[in-house]
Amino acid sequence: MGPDRGGTAVAGSRCSERGAVGPLAERLMALARSRPAAVAVRDARGRVVRWGEIERWAARAVPARDGVRRVPVRPRLGAAVRLCAAWRRGEVAIAVPPPGDPAREAALRWRGEGGGREQPAAVLFSSGTTGRPRAVVHTASSLLASARAVNARLGAGPGAVWLCPLPLQHVGALAVLVRAIVGGYAAELHERFDAQAVVRALASGRVTHVSLVGRMLERLLEHRVPWRPASSLRAVVVGGGPVDPDLVRRARRRGIPVCLTYGCTEAGSQITTQAPGETGLDLGRPIDGVQLRVGDNGSLWVRGPVLAAGLGGGDGWYDTGDLGTLGAGARLLALERRVDLIVSGGKNVRPVRVERVLEACPAVREAAVLGWPDRSWGERVVAVVRRAEPVERERLERWCAERLAVWERPRSWVWVDEPLPRTALGKLRRAELRRRLERRGLRAVEDER
């Protein structure tokens, strides 16, 4: 690995030479002194980097002339070392997505917007599922507050190994790296999600924690070789959007310790999380230091030290853009993205529920559900279906009629042959899908009725 070079000037940035002391730098220095030979990061092939090596890497790295270190996310092991070295040097770290990711250009062009009074530590970008990617600027304080609270909730400390196959530009992966620094344990970062590699790791007895999204968990359960997790595995943290309850039940019956979580980029990853051993289907309680409330029309608002710079307004509360229901002890019982909600004939339709019903049909490979403007209904439920085998619309209509309320059933059907647009985490890019339909023309949708 050669040193990173170049960058972009940031107004007001207190760029630092080696020896700058901030909370992340202090923790990295302490690990290099006290545990230089301990593994900091490893990859799926067993290659490791130790805390002492990160300190030496930071000493050799050419300073970012502007205090901003843009790090390509591949290869993953080298990227993790460069990110840690940037924090050790007091630089702003940006994990630059690969070509084709909508956030790549935003990462390359960031010029310091979105920051606050405190020096930025990391800049992330919203997934772009609902529009243009937006910079989210986290400080060392917000990253550390999240890491400490999550480590406490999930029992991650010295001796732990946290596996993460998520892309490094995603907050869920970057947060694992920060948690490892705070907890003094190893982060195992896979280059990509490979079910066989993850199964092998979970059965090895080495891994104690793992971060997944629902589709990844489903692929692990469908792996061709039956497997059971080693007793060392304490928490399989599943988030990234609503998770099918049946999937969670199946996993737990297999002895997989699923801990459901809800979070967002703006909160540095987790907002609510189940503790190991909990068996409910809710999304857990807020992590330490975080408050959660339901506002008007069911919107979820969050407050706490985990929020990114410039968020929260005068009273500190930030609107997540999600809808939810809270139960006793502030447990998050239900979740839906507000922007995805369809209101048809005065009734609320949750696209994820309809998509799960459609994808349970053997003839459907994948499905997406959108609300389309309709003069009579306000919005019309439109199903975009990629078929696994030839199937008539009437069969799918009967399938839905047996499982969905009248107002939830698709009124229009669009057939596609190509895979639906998704983020690196497998989330639907609904805005991109809508643009594709608009290019086909509204008449093309109506003709499928």
Distance, in Å, from the CA atom of 339 to the CA atom of 421, rounded to the nearest integer, reads 17
**In this predicted structure, which of 139-148, 152-161, 371-380 has the lowest mean pLDDT?**
371-380
Torsion over CA of 197, 198, 201 and 204, rounded to 10 degrees?
Answer: -100
- Is the residue at 3 inside a domain? no
328-339 average pLDDT score: 86
Structural domain boundaries enclosing 350? 341-446
Cα atoms in the 13 Å half-sphere on the side-chain side of 410: 31
In this structure, the answer to whether residues 84 and 195 fall within a common structural domain is yes
Nearest to 356 by CA among 389, 404, 401: 404
Domains contained in the chain, number: 2
pLDDT level of residue 45 (50, 70, 90 thresholds): very high
In this structure, the answer to whether residues 136 and 279 fall within a common structural domain is yes
Give residue 375's pLDDT: 78
- Is the residue at 44 inside a domain? yes
320 token code pair: 């997540």
205-211 average pLDDT score: 97
In this structure, the answer to whether residues 291 and 351 fall within a common structural domain is no
- Is the residue at 154 inside a domain? yes
- Is the residue at 4 inside a domain? no
Residue 221 sits in a domain whose CATH number is 3.40.50.12780
- Give pLDDT tens digits for 215-227: 899 999 999 888 9
Residue 425 sits in a domain whose CATH number is 3.30.300.30
- Is the residue at 17 inside a domain? no
The letter for the amino acid at 260 is L
In this structure, the answer to whether residues 326 and 367 fall within a common structural domain is no
With the C-alpha atoms ordered 207, 213, 217, 220, is the resulting torsion angle positive or negative? negative
Of 337, 354, 375, the residue that ends a domain is 337
In this structure, the answer to whether residues 191 and 306 fall within a common structural domain is yes
In this structure, the answer to whether residues 385 and 407 fall within a common structural domain is yes
| CB neighbour list of residue 168: distance below 8 Å, 6 or more residues apart | 73, 76, 79, 80, 83, 95, 174, 177, 189
pLDDT level of residue 10 (50, 70, 90 thresholds): very low
In this structure, the answer to whether residues 164 and 65 fall within a common structural domain is yes
- Is the residue at 18 inside a domain? no
With the C-alpha atoms ordered 117, 119, 121, 126, is the resulting torsion angle positive or negative? positive
Distance, in Å, from the CA atom of 43 to the CA atom of 47, rounded to the nearest integer, reads 6
Nearest to 176 by CA among 152, 146, 206: 146
What string of H, E and C letters represents the secondary structure of the chain?
Answer: CCCCCCCCCCCCCCCCCCCCCCHHHHHHHHHHHHCCCCEEEECCCCCEEEHHHHHHHHHHCCCCCCCEEEEECCCHHHHHHHHHHHHHCCCEEEEECCCCCCCHHHHHHCCCCCCCCCCEEEEEECCCCCCCCCEEEEEHHHHHHHHHHHHHHHCCCCCCEEEECCCCCCHHHHHHHHHHHHHCCEEEECCCCCHHHHHHHHCCCCCCEEEEEHHHHHHHHCCCCCCCCCCCCCEEEEECCCCCHHHHHHHHHCCCCEEEEEEEHHHCEEEEECCCCCCCCCCCEECCCCEEEECHHHEEEEECCCCCCCCCCCCCCEEEEEEEEECHHHCEEEEEEHHHCEEECCEEECHHHHHHHHHCCCCEEEEEEEEEEECCCEEEEEEEEEECCCCCHHHHHHHHHCCCCHHHCCCEEEEECCCCCECCCCCECHHHHHHHHHHHCHHHHHCCC
Q: How far, in Å, are 95, 121, 124, 374 from residue 70 at the CA level?
A: 6, 12, 11, 45
- Give pLDDT tens digits for 84-128: 999 999 999 999 999 988 889 999 999 887 666 788 999 999 754
pLDDT level of residue 3 (50, 70, 90 thresholds): very low
- Is the residue at 81 inside a domain? yes
Angle at 182 between CA 209 and CA 303, to 5 degrees: 90
Give residue 88's pLDDT: 96
In this structure, the answer to whether residues 327 and 239 fall within a common structural domain is yes
The letter for the amino acid at 421 is P
Distance, in Å, from the CA atom of 196 to the CA atom of 248, rounded to the nearest integer, reads 20
195-219 average pLDDT score: 95
**In this predicted structure, which of 16-30, 69-83, 148-162 has the lowest mean pLDDT?**
16-30
In this structure, the answer to whether residues 29 and 158 fall within a common structural domain is yes
In this structure, the answer to whether residues 179 and 33 fall within a common structural domain is yes
> Quick check: 198 pLDDT over 50?
yes
Of 279, 302, 337, the residue that ends a domain is 337
> Quick check: 156 pLDDT over 70?
yes
In this structure, the answer to whether residues 218 and 311 fall within a common structural domain is yes
Mean pLDDT over each residue of the chain, to the nearest integer: 89
Q: How far, in Å, are 101, 128, 218 from residue 321 at the CA level?
A: 23, 14, 27
State percent of the chain over pLDDT 90.
71
Query: Phi then psi for 274, rounded to 5 degrees?
Result: -75, 145
The residues that bridge with 210 in the sheet, in sequence order, are 163, 236
- Is the residue at 15 inside a domain? no
Torsion over CA of 52, 97, 215 and 285, rounded to 10 degrees?
Answer: 60
- Tokens 């979105």, residue located: 114
Q: Check residues 259 and 14 and name the one with the higher pLDDT.
A: 259
In this structure, the answer to whether residues 47 and 95 fall within a common structural domain is yes
Distance, in Å, from the CA atom of 356 to the CA atom of 351, rounded to the nearest integer, reads 9
- Give pLDDT tens digits for 175-188: 999 999 999 999 99
**In this predicted structure, which of 107-121, 282-296, 362-376 has the lowest mean pLDDT?**
107-121
Of 313, 337, 361, the residue that ends a domain is 337
Query: Phi then psi for 245, rounded to 5 degrees?
Result: -55, -35
